[in-house]
């Protein structure tokens, strides 16, 4: 398990590095068009640094607001609080902040930058449709994301993907309205670089989304296995995943930006259990059938 976590963290570093490189490439491409020179690179570096710091410290708040999550009252949601407290004692984790999303679809997610600054949100539908052992399995899965430090990269991905998409959209609009280079006719090399930059700007959001999907899919299998090792009762999470698979309710509080955070695909993609190369490439989660089979084989 510890080897898997270490490998997971290495992959996290590579993916975060990939996000940083993609952001830098988008900025460089735009700088080539406007002939920004050294000053343009300095300004871009300052903006990118500020965006990174903002993402690190505020991504969890953004994810919770986007999901319409509100703090869970300890008296009204006593079972929810009690189960998390018991799991935290067993795992040695500090108790995260607990939130409720008023939505009939059963789902849950974890967010935050580390175990000391983490939060878990569950829908009212999850609390209503899961029995105690199933709910414990789902909460153990989410706490495993916290313990494995998945929440940092998964939460930052919410703002990172959005930033890349906004940057690319702004730069393309800027160039479309006449803000591009003017001297490429006498500079064939510059024209080639500008063309490559234009292609990058067009495909950067798609590349960022694919990287976001890869971040999520790899971590779900590890969180499933870590969750059942925490509860020591695999049938609980297996039964919960089967209920999620059979439930056809689509959550209204999710968006493409936060879809990878939830325990299962919250959007109506029609591919909950269909495993094809095309679906897997554009899905935020591995198929539930594959996750259930992996747990049953433990």
Catalytic residues: 142
- Provide the token pair at 126: 């999850």
Q: What is the dihedral of CA 122, 123, 127, 132, to 10 degrees?
A: -30
Angstrom distance (rounded) from CA 284 to CA 142: 16
Angstrom distance (rounded) from CA 223 to CA 73: 26
Angstrom distance (rounded) from CA 186 to CA 183: 6
Q: What is the dihedral of CA 127, 215, 208, 67, to 10 degrees?
A: 10
- Provide the token pair at 276: 């094809």
- Provide the token pair at 3: 């080897």
Which residues make Cβ contacts (< 8 Å) with residue 286, sequence separation at least 6? 217, 220, 221, 275, 280
- Provide the token pair at 174: 């800027």
């Amino acid at each position: 398990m510890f080897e898997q976590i270490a490998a997971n963290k290495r992959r996290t570093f590579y993916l975060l590095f990939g996000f940083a490189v993609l952001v830098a490439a988008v900025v460089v491409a735009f700088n080539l068009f406007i002939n920004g020179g050294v000053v343009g690179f300095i300004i871009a570096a300052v903006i990118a640094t500020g965006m990174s710091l903002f993402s690190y410290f505020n991504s969890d708040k953004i994810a919770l607001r986007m999901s319409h999550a509100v703090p869970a009252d300890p008296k009204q949601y006593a079972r929810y609080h009690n189960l998390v407290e018991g799991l935290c004692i067993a795992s040695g984790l500090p108790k995260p902040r607990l939130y409720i999303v008023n939505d009939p679809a059963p789902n849950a997610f974890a967010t935050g930058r580390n175990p000391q600054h983490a939060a878990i949100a569950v829908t009212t539908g999850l609390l209503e449709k899961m029995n105690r052992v199933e709910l414990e399995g789902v909460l153990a899965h989410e706490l495993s994301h916290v313990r494995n430090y998945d929440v940092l990269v998964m939460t930052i991905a919410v703002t990172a993907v959005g930033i890349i998409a906004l940057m690319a959209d702004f730069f393309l609009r800027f160039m479309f309205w006449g803000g591009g280079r003017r001297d490429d006719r006498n500079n064939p090399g510059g024209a080639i670089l500008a063309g490559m930059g234009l292609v990058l700007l067009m495909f950067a959001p798609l590349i960022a989304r694919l990287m976001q999907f890869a971040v999520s899919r790899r971590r779900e299998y590890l969180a499933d296995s870590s969750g059942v090792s925490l509860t020591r009762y695999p049938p609980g999470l297996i039964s919960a995943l089967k209920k999620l698979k059979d439930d056809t309710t689509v959550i209204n509080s999710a968006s493409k930006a936060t879809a990878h955070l939830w325990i299962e695909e919250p959007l109506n993609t029609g591919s909950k259990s269909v495993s094809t190369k095309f679906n897997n490439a554009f899905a935020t989660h591995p198929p539930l059938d594959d996750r259930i089979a992996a747990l049953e084989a433990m």
